[in-house]
Amino acid sequence: MSGIDPRALDDEALRSYVAGCEWYHTVELRPGIETPGWFDLRTVAPRLPWPELAGRRCLDVGTFDGFWAREMLQRGAAEVLAVDILDPRRWDWPTGSETGIVDALAARKRKGDGFEFVNRALDHSIERRELSVYDLDPADIGSFDLVYVGSLLLHLRDPIRALERVKAVCNPGGAMLLVDAIDLELTVRHPRRPIASLDGIGRPWWWKPNVAGLVRMVTAAGFEPTAAPMRVYMPLGPGYTGPRPRPSLLRTAAGREALVQARRGDPHAAILARPRPA
Ligand SMILES: C[S@@+](CC[C@H](N)C(=O)[O-])C[C@H]1O[C@@H](n2cnc3c(N)ncnc32)[C@H](O)[C@@H]1O
C-alpha cells in the first residue's frame, strides 16, 4: 500500500493524487472526484442480471480496483470477499512474453494499491486476499451465495478449470454471475456453434469465445444458466490509453473490434448460472 491515507487529503490533494496514478476502474471517491479508470462500468452495473443479494455472502474473483466487490456491497451483501493476483508476473503468460509488457501491466496494477486506496477513501472494509481462481477451495475461504467473475476468463490459459473451482465455492442454492469478453464476429457468424479465437502471443490474452462458446464453458464446468445470455459492452474510461481505431485497420477483425470498443465498449456477455447438483 502506498501509505497515503485518502481521508487525510483535502479535495485538491486527492484530485491531484488520483490524476497521477493508473486505475482500472472509474470510482467516485468524493462528489466530483473520480479515479480515471481504464474502464468506466457504472452504466453497466444496473443492467446486469443480479440475483437478490441482501444478507448474502459474495465473492469477487480478480477484483482489481474492486468496482464489482463494492457493487455487491451496495446491493446489500452481508459480506464480500475479493480475491486477486497482485503481481502480474503470476498471471498466465504465454512463453516468450516480453518483460516490457509484463512491466507495463505491473505499473497499472500497482501491487493492488488502487483497491486499498478506494477501500479507505470510501470507508469500506472489504477484505481482499491474494488467491488465484485456480486455488479457490471451500476448506480455505468457505462457500458463497454469489460469485462474480468479471473479465477474467480471457486472461486464463484454462478457463474451464477456473470455472470448476468457482463451482467448488458456490453454495448449492447459490449462483455465479459471469461477465466475460466475447468475440463479436464469431458470435454473429456462428450464433449456435461454440467456437473461440485464440491469442496466446506475448500477453495474457487467451481464449475469446463467441456467446455460444462462453455458455458451453459454463455448462462444461457444471453450471446451468438461469436465462439466455445477455450481451453487454464495457465502456472505456478516461484512463484508457490502448489502441484507437484507424480507418486503415477497419479491414481487419482486430481493427473492427477496436472500433466497436471505442464506440460502444468492450463486447462481453453476462450469464447468471446456478451450480448443477453433482
Ligand atoms: C481484466 S481485469 C478485470 C477486473 C474486474 N474483475 C472487472 O471485471 O472489472 C482481470 C483481473 O483478473 C486478475 N487475475 C489474473 N489472473 C488471475 C487468476 N489466476 N486468479 C485470480 N485473478 C486473476 C487480475 O489481477 C485482474 O485484477
Average pLDDT over residues 204-214: 97
Residues 42 and 115: their CA atoms lie apart, in Å, by 17
Asked if residue 186 is part of any domain, the answer here is yes
Residues 180 and 207: their CA atoms lie apart, in Å, by 11
Our count of domains for the chain comes to 1
Residue 211 cell numbers, joined: 456467446
pLDDT at 221 over 60: yes
Q: What is the CATH number of the domain that holds 118?
A: 3.40.50.150
Asked if residue 31 is part of any domain, the answer here is yes
Residues 221 and 223: their CA atoms lie apart, in Å, by 6
Asked if residue 172 is part of any domain, the answer here is yes
Is the C-beta atom of 112 inside 6 A of ligand 1? no
Report how far ligand 1's centroid is from the alpha carbon of 135 (Å). 14
Residues 49 and 35: their CA atoms lie apart, in Å, by 26
Question: Would you place residue 1 in the very low, low, confident or very high pLDDT band (cuts 50, 70, 90)?
Answer: low
Average pLDDT of every residue of the chain: 94
Asked if residue 106 is part of any domain, the answer here is yes
Range of the domain at 248: 6-275
Asked if residue 102 is part of any domain, the answer here is yes
Asked if residue 130 is part of any domain, the answer here is yes
Say which DSSP state 61 is in.
Answer: E
Asked if residue 1 is part of any domain, the answer here is no
Beta-strand ranges (E) seen in 6-121 are: 23-25, 28-30, 33-34, 37-39, 57-61, 79-84
Report how far ligand 1's centroid is from the alpha carbon of 202 (Å). 17
Using most ligand atoms within 8 A of CB, pick from 23, 59, 152, 205 the residue to mutate for ligand 1.
152
Say which DSSP state 236 is in.
Answer: B
Residues near 78 by beta carbon (within 8 Å), at least 6 away in sequence: 55, 56, 57
Using most ligand atoms within 8 A of CB, pick from 42, 61, 64, 199 the residue to mutate for ligand 1.
64
Residues 133 and 109: their CA atoms lie apart, in Å, by 17
Residues 242 and 166: their CA atoms lie apart, in Å, by 30
What pLDDT is stored for residue 262 in this prediction?
A: 81
Provide the pairing of β-strand 57-61 with 28-30. Answer: unpaired
pLDDT at 251 over 90: no
Per-residue pLDDT of 169-208, as tens digits, reads 999 999 999 999 999 999 999 999 999 999 999 999 999 9
Cell 443479494 appears where? 53
Cell 443480479 appears where? 50
Classify the C-alpha dihedral 130-131-137-138 as positive or negative. Answer: positive
Is the C-beta atom of 235 inside 6 A of ligand 1? no
What pLDDT is stored for residue 2 in this prediction?
A: 65
Average pLDDT over residues 126-146: 98
Q: Enter the pTM of the model.
A: 0.95
pLDDT at 219 over 70: yes
Cell 466475460 appears where? 180
What value does the CA radius of gyration of the chain take, rounded to a whole number of Å?
Answer: 18
- In percent, how much of the chain has pLDDT > 90? 84
Report how far ligand 1's centroid is from the alpha carbon of 268 (Å). 15
Asked if residue 254 is part of any domain, the answer here is yes
Residues near 155 by beta carbon (within 8 Å), at least 6 away in sequence: 62, 91, 92, 204, 205, 206
